[in-house]
Chain A
Amino acid sequence: MSKREGDGGGRKRKTESVQKTDYSINTSSLLIAAFKVFQQELDTKHDKYERLVKLSRDITIESKRTIFLLHRVTSVPNVEEVLNEADVKLDAVRQKVGQIAEELRGEDLYQFHKAFTSGVQEYVEAVSFHHFIKHRTLISLEEINARLVFMRHEKMDTKVGAEVLWPGTCVLTFQVTHTDYLLGVADLTGELMRMCISSVGNGDMDTPFELSNFLREIHDGFSYIGNTGPYEVSKKLHTLRQSLSKVEDACYTLKVRGSEIPKHMLADVFSSRTALMDQDEGVP
């Protein structure tokens, strides 16, 4: 009984809704047309975002490789060669950054910032590490940005040549944001710590102290910024403290052991120790 009623109600409803759609067919197609526009707009935006994420990932990978390469300076006699090789790699990374700049042409950098921030940070880390090994100073934000200027005349000529009055004048720039710079430098401290420990292992007596001074300077800088900076910066401050205390401990040990035995012998102690460690690792 009730079932039949229910069926009847359903049928009635169906016919009604058919009538209604007929009535509203105009507004409906308008609405659908509007949503088709939205669809395109969102798709374009998402596609761009995805392309940027991909570029950022490539930048991260290449920057990490460069950093690994740079770590070899502690164990290789010819530092210059390693630095040059790293510079070639960094040039490739810069080309990728140039592609990001191209994607962002005429766009709001911050709209897509999340897509490429990690890659840019990694690049800052690599380039500042390279700079430190070469000059023993902290690279400035201007210096980083100065190398991220790209000439794009060829492409402009072929694509929209007619609109460009002076071919070759198209200059693309990429600006690393202050936050990305800070976060990259914070990551750099981790690399410096690693470099310090490995140079101790290699019997280099000066680099650890130099590094510890530099790290302290950076640490002081970060403490100066403190909690006023972005959230991510304060998060990295903890890791920075850990790295710093590791380096300071290493310097302390060097000093204490250094007073016990002459320098050249101390180097032997450290290197034989690392040799032993290597053996231990090799056995199992």
Chain B
Amino acid sequence: MSVTEMFSYIQGFLSADQDIREDIRKVVQVLEQTAREILTVLQSVHQPTGFKDIPSKCLKARELFCTVQAQIADLKTKFPVEQYYRFHEHWRFVLQRLTFLAAFVVYLESESLVTREEVTNILGTEVDREKGFHLDIEDYLAGILIMASELSRLAVNSVTAGDYGRPLRISNFINELDSGFRLLNLKNDPLRKRYDGLKYDVKKIEEVVYDLSIRGLAKEQEAEGDK
């Protein structure tokens, strides 16, 4: 094989690779749009008015997740399934966002941490790499960490909206989450950087809880509830 032949063979491969990436990029763009729509729906829970109809917001978000499933199914057709990590960078970010959104919805519904299986059910992906298009564990964890900062915001805003009980529950939840993450031996990677941000979320929520406790506000509401 001459040098020229060799290079044109490689060029052929490279342009095929570019084409696949272009296709993936298009689908991912649509997926990002849907993710933003879901985020917009969920953002209204921070509004004092939105506090009352959290369940309906969650339902609406769940509906939009059906669209996500369809789009992810479309994404799956764009590349050979065993080459997931070759193109991983393209959808990594959006999958983290979607995990965050799914985790947030589940938290709002049941105040518990979404499992990896649940996320994969909501998004329409697999858990195991062997079975096909899956959710990478680091992306799942990153999504959970994004939710943590969203919850610290929710703690602040729920006080503003007059709900003094929620911050305490969020505080417990985040503390558990923190001790969970402490178990992991993270390398010096993006996930580690994300995790380093968790302590600020913890701190912020603790401040809210402190403010409520020192003024007896949390107790007050519990007493009201008893009456």
Interface residues of A (CB under 8 A from B): 5-6, 9-10, 12-13, 16-17, 20-21, 24, 27-28, 31-32, 34-36, 38-39, 41-43, 45-46, 106, 108-111, 113, 137-138, 140-142, 178, 181-182, 214, 217-218, 220-222, 224-225, 228-230
Which of chain B's residues have a CB closer than 8 A to the CB of A43? 185
Chain A residue at minimum C-beta to C-beta distance from B11: A225
- Say whether B172 contacts A17, CB under 8 Å: yes
With A and B bound together, what is the CA distance between A59 and B92 in angstroms?
A: 30
Chain A residue at minimum C-beta to C-beta distance from B84: A108
Query: Whole-angstrom distance from the CB of A141 to the nearest CB of chain B?
Result: 7
Chain A residue at minimum C-beta to C-beta distance from B12: A178
Which of chain B's residues have a CB closer than 8 A to the CB of A214? 3
- Say whether B213 contacts A225, CB under 8 Å: no
- Say whether A225 contacts B187, CB under 8 Å: no
For the complex, would chain A's binding face be called helix, strand, loop or mixed by DSSP majority?
Answer: helix
Interface residues of B (CB under 8 A from A): 1-4, 6-11, 13-15, 17-18, 82-86, 88, 112-113, 115-116, 129-130, 137-138, 141, 168-169, 172, 176-177, 179-181, 183-187, 209-210, 213-214, 218-219
With A and B bound together, what is the CA distance between A192 and B17 in angstroms?
A: 30
Which of chain B's residues have a CB closer than 8 A to the CB of A137? 2-3
**Contacts A6-B214, A31-B180, A110-B83 known; A229 to B14 CB distance under 8 Å?**
yes
Chain B residue at minimum C-beta to C-beta distance from A230: B14
Query: Whole-angstrom distance from the CB of A28 to the nearest CB of chain B?
Result: 5
- Say whether B6 contacts A221, CB under 8 Å: yes
**Contacts A218-B3, A228-B15 known; A35 to B83 CB distance under 8 Å?**
no
**Contacts A42-B137, A110-B83 known; A9 to B180 CB distance under 8 Å?**
no
With A and B bound together, what is the CA distance between A140 and B129 in angstroms?
A: 32
Which of chain B's residues have a CB closer than 8 A to the CB of A36? 183
Which of chain B's residues have a CB closer than 8 A to the CB of A10? 213
Query: Whole-angstrom distance from the CB of B38 to the nearest CB of chain A?
Result: 24
A-B contact pairs, 16 of them (CB 8 A): A24-B176, A27-B113, A34-B113, A34-B115, A38-B141, A38-B184, A39-B183, A108-B84, A110-B88, A138-B6, A140-B6, A141-B10, A178-B14, A181-B10, A214-B3, A217-B3
Query: Whole-angstrom distance from the CB of B146 to the nearest CB of chain A?
Result: 16
Which of chain B's residues have a CB closer than 8 A to the CB of A21? 172
The winner among B11, B130, B141, B219 for most chain A CB atoms within 10 A is B11
With A and B bound together, what is the CA distance between A187 and B129 in angstroms?
A: 35
Query: Whole-angstrom distance from the CB of A7 to the nearest CB of chain B?
Result: 10
- Say whether A16 contacts B168, CB under 8 Å: yes
**Contacts A24-B172, A34-B180, A228-B18 known; A141 to B6 CB distance under 8 Å?**
yes
Query: Whole-angstrom distance from the CB of B130 to the nearest CB of chain A?
Result: 8
Which of chain B's residues have a CB closer than 8 A to the CB of A45? 137
Which of chain A's residues have a CB closer than 8 A to the CB of B10? 141, 178, 181-182, 225
With A and B bound together, what is the CA distance between A228 and B200 in angstroms?
A: 43
